Chains A and B, each alone.
Chain A
Amino acid sequence: MMKEELYEYILGVADNSLILGQRLGELCGHGPSLETDIACTNISLDLFGQTRSYFQYAAKLIGNDATEDTVAFLRTEREYRNVLLVEQPNTDFAYTIARQFLFDVFHFLFLDQLKNSNDLNLSAIANKAIKEVSYHQRFSTDWIKRLGDGTPESAQRIQAAIDDLWRYTDELFHTSNIDDKIIEAGIGVNLSELKDPYYSRVIQVLEESKLVTPESKWFQKGGKAGVHTEHMGYILSDMQYMQRTFPNMTW
């Protein structure tokens, strides 16, 4: 296995946390209430912390003066490997929560497996991150139930968000050729094994929340191959603004 392949694999993992963290960070000072504002930005901070650990390791792997910052900020849209789900906008609080819930359930199952990685750095990051993600999952699950089993307005909005974001869930389990190699080496997580526990957990929560599980079998994909939705460019232009304006700036 080549270092470059492991680097690519790590990006596929870390970019999810980076882009979702960026999306949640947009809510800083804009959350629907003080408590949810603080919760979303705390989750964002956890995700950025995890991203930093992955990127510090990734930067070491490729050398060439790469740093966590160059990995985070100096790539073009096609070079980001996050799934489409995490780049979807904060349309309303229901969308923010639905996106979070659909990702958290996956994230927890994923880290639970990554803990057993042959790669000591990745297993260390996973052991650390899973403790944080268990809180994220509690938060988003709790809110799915409150919105689903709340007022007619909240139920209608969270159902609309789940229906709309459902098409992005299948991509969570896709792997590239590089991913497959890393999985075979005992470093990466075999995503196909997570699919059943994922949907059964999600469907269980939806039922408890009096929500309807979408029936559509049509799924959208592309993020993992660098083909993103129209939202991605806007995220990057915001996120990369300082580095593009003042190249090599440091704090």
Chain B
Amino acid sequence: MTVIQGVHIDEQLIPILEKVSDPEIPVLSILEMGVVRSAQLDKNHVYVKITPTYSGCPAMDVIGDDINRALKKAGYTSEVELVLSPAWTTDWITPKGRAALENYGIAAPLNPEADKAVLLEGKRLVSCPQCSSKNTRMVSQFGSTACKAQFQCDDCLEPFDYFKCLK
């Protein structure tokens, strides 16, 4: 385990890495998710550092394998290391990533105060990714994966996932 600050990704690796997607949310690339903390080229060898969204995220092993496979296909050798610090936050999801989440039917995280208000006080602040109504309510604080909560829209009646704020 290594502790790293900031993000550094070599430019020529971006087109390769942005094609690797989060296995749980296939529309979202790992770059948009903020999971890749560094990717550096040394001759033909790439060192990649990724950080988990949640400690128990079962997708991390798959993401590591997918990165190695994508880089191998592009003619590089590579190694992927898992780093824990600084800890991942939903702030690292890029604007493009947030839009991709919404398009996929997952409501993007609100700010921490609003997040607390919807999860604990039953406030209706999350926009339904289907019909954009804010007449939505929490069904369960935990959803299909550890990072999401289960919601329902009381206008279009669709159930949906809300990506919980992690800060």
Contacts and interface: CB of A to CB of B under 8 A. Distances in A.
A46 B3 contact: no
B84 A53 contact: yes
Interface string B1-34: 1010000000000000000000000000000000
A4 to B, nearest CB: 20
B51 to A, nearest CB: 8
Contacts, number: 83
Interface string B126-167: 000000000000011111111000100000000000001011
B140 A53 contact: no
A43 B87 contact: no
Interface residues of B, number: 29
A89 interface: no
Contact of A49 (B57, B85, B141, B143): B57
Contact of A131 (B87, B142, B143, B145): B87
Contacts of A57: 1
Instruction: Identify the interface centre among B83, B140, B142: most chain A CB within 10 Å of its CB.
Output: B142
A177 B84 CA distance: 29
A46 B56 contact: yes
Given A125-B84, A135-B164, A42 B120 contact: no
A49 B1 contact: no
A39 B85 contact: no
B55 interface: yes
Nearest to A46: B56
Interface in A100-153: 120-121, 123-125, 127-129, 131-132, 135, 138-139, 142
Interface in A38-57: 38-39, 42-43, 45-50, 52-53, 56-57
A35 interface: yes
Given A124-B1, A124-B3, A49 B140 contact: no
A121 B1 contact: yes
B54 A46 contact: yes
B17 to A, nearest CB: 22
A139 B141 CA distance: 7
B142 A53 contact: no
Interface of B: 1, 3, 52, 54-58, 83-89, 119-120, 139-146, 150, 164, 166-167
